[in-house]
Amino acid sequence: MPTSLSGRHFLRLLDFTTEEIEYLLKLSREFKNLKLTGTPHRYLEGKNIVLLFQKTSTRTRCAFEVGAMDLGMGVTYLDPGSSQMGKKESIEDTARVLGRFYDGIEFRGFAQTDVEELAANAGVPVWNGLTNEWHPTQMLADILTMQENFNYDIKGKTFVFMGDAANNVARSLMVVCSKLGVNFVACGPKENMPDAELVKTCEAIAAENGSTVKLTEDIKDACTGAHVIYADVWVSMGEPDEVWAERIRLLEPYRVTKEVMAMADPSAIFLHCLPSFHDTNTTIGADIAERFGVTEMEVEDEVFESKQSKVFDEAENRMHTIKAVMYATLS
């Protein structure tokens, strides 16, 4: 039976089968080819979507806006100050209003319960652009980039996340790798490992797909022979400034360096969901350098700018994969 995701929400990848995820990735490749060849694909002409942002973003907003316009849709962007949701109007009431105006709703914010409440009340597909718990659209871009670099043969490859493995990106990567038969390794301090119950769930999923899940504090154990080394910022959006000192103390040993990349397979690539603190050319980067003497955080600039780094391919792929999600759920 052909895969159909029509009318579905896209809130977390745990809700999707291996076949459904593979279908979205295949669709993403098709949309990327259409974009690169300049072939019009306004397949959703006349539809409209709204982007609800509690947390600002460059890639997520641009990927949804350009992707939607390529598909022929109209787009409304509501930044944190442009909506009464959660202030003067409940999430439930906001969902019921927006569901009358729009064909789809994207939410990027804090609590997973917020996007779930939107989905429960909107009557139209709702897409999770990021919450504190999950980042499903990023995962599709990450995996598409991995596929492109390994001739679309990723089953049995090893994917290592370095650093704060308790965050939304690491949790989501563990899920998608398990679903697709990719060996997942979380490498970081024991204080920053994924929730034990989620690990147990992913271990069972991975076993069904012929792969493994491993948690380790040992960098050599994690990275030797790995095919993907992945890093993310050490302090996530919305976390208090006071956590920087402790995170730097805990995570500095897990910075991705050229020595780390040398442990990996010769064909290994480096990925990062961006933005990245690989130098001091940002206000936060400069502030951290002044306060703590750290000029490179989760990844060395030499690695970030190397040929192994595919971070900008990965960023572009957000657009193609998000387009696939919107098309699949709105068709």
Reported as a single tens digit per residue, the pLDDT across 270-301 is 999 999 999 999 999 999 999 999 999 999 99
Q: Is the pLDDT of residue 237 over 80?
A: no
User: For residue range 211-224, what is the model confidence (pLDDT) as tens digits?
Assistant: 999 999 999 999 99
In tens, the pLDDT along 158-208 reads 999 999 999 999 999 999 999 999 999 999 999 999 999 999 999 999 999
Task: Give the residues across from 126 on adjacent strands.
Answer: 105
Q: Are strands 126-130 and 269-272 parallel, antiparallel or unpaired?
A: unpaired
Distance CA 148, CA 26 (A): 12
Euclidean distance between the first and the last CA atom of the chain, given in angstroms as a whole number: 17
- For residue 44, name the pLDDT band (cuts at 50, 70, 90): very high
- Enumerate residues 6+ apart whose C-beta is below 8 A from 8: 125, 328, 329
Distance CA 24, CA 3 (A): 10
Residue 161, by phi and psi: left (phi above 0), alpha (psi -120 to 50) or beta?
Answer: beta
pLDDT at 74: 98
Q: How far is CA 32 from CA 29, 37, 205, 273, 316, in A?
A: 5, 9, 29, 19, 9
Identify the pLDDT of residue 227: 98
Find tokens 């957000």 and name the residue.
318
User: What percent of the chain is predicted at pLDDT more than 90?
Assistant: 94
* 296: CB partners within 8 A, 6+ apart: 255, 277, 278, 279
DSSP assignment string, 162-222: ES-TTSHHHHHHHHHHHHHT-EEEEES-GGGPPPHHHHHHHHHHHHHTT--EEEES-HHHH
Q: How confident is the model at residue 136 (pLDDT cuts 50, 70, 90)?
A: very high
The catalytic site residues sit at 108, 135, 138, 232, 273, 318
Q: Which helix (H) or strand (E) holds 25?
A: helix 18-36
Average predicted confidence (pLDDT) for the chain? 96
Instruction: Using alpha carbons only, give the angle 64, 70, 72 rounded to the nearest 5 degrees.
Output: 100
pLDDT at 1: 58
Q: Residues 73-124: pLDDT tens digits? A: 999 999 877 776 767 789 999 999 999 999 999 999 999 999 999 999 999 9
DSSP 3-state assignment of 311?
A: helix
